[in-house]
Structure 1
């Protein structure tokens, strides 16, 4: 499966007395944030520390997952809900069968970026070629931002992959607050669609 880190996405401003924040609706598309700024100080947030809720930080390192799709609907219904987070997950696609594979971001709230065979794989700058206009340059193969009518930009790619060959892949996602979701699936050469990447994506520990 995938392996990576989870990050805290900051409020634009925060009232500590009222315990309410204002969503930061701009930071997550800015190059300074996407080019590694999402890591913040690099220190993990702990329950006993005094937090500055207006700066990025780390929630957890070295998390693993085979399914990156989720929705917090029903758990996070208010505008002040602490759904401010994101993740950067990496791995290697090693197809069991040669043929066309389609990877899709069926839904994203608020930002999803996927690189396949990317030159920036495993670097701090996961998203340097992201363009909010929907244009794709360089290595950002799939990128999409939430809109009321559905995902914008390019949210699907089909690639001919060879069985047994390792293809670097990374997924970057941000929910800027309140409701959040992402739906990531792949369709194999036989036409089967799945959100479980356990039998096709591996990380270093899997390959040892």
Structure 2
């Protein structure tokens, strides 16, 4: 449910973009949707609400969501102020490449990389698997960032907006499956090593 909720700002971005040129009137107030700029404003508001609602439910701030909010507000704000969609188009690349840098650096800082620090309290895995898992996520961040720029500069704005929506689902699904494939054999081993309960008790 949490993962699905994280797609809501992107879905709203996509929907509002499709309303380009349409107008709404509420209590005498008129607004005309302005393509990428209206969509960017919707993305900013939705991400801000997402963080606020998450805090209201969990009573804590998730660091990744906070950094995402900062990135959306900075790049979205620049898009609206300078009326230049290049800023919001660069946001996914900068955000993902910074994550790749952070995950990569964590491999050489301390005894545990970022994946192990994040999930190590929930599951036990060999050191080699934590390294592979960390590398998988780094590769994902680098690929997502690179493909975002490729689509933004090689195709139309409409194509980029469509790509932003559908690739978000595709990449997270692929990453989840690959992560599960790496982890699952070791979870089976851990379960098989657990002592069996004496049924005679």
Same fold, judged at TM 0.5 (above): no
Query: Larger strand proportion, structure 1 or 2?
Result: 1
Name which structure has the greater RCO, CA cutoff 8 Å, separation 6+. Answer: 1
TM-score by length of 2: 0.25
Larger Rg: 2
TM-score after normalising by structure 1? 0.25
Per residue, is there more helix in 1 or in 2?
2
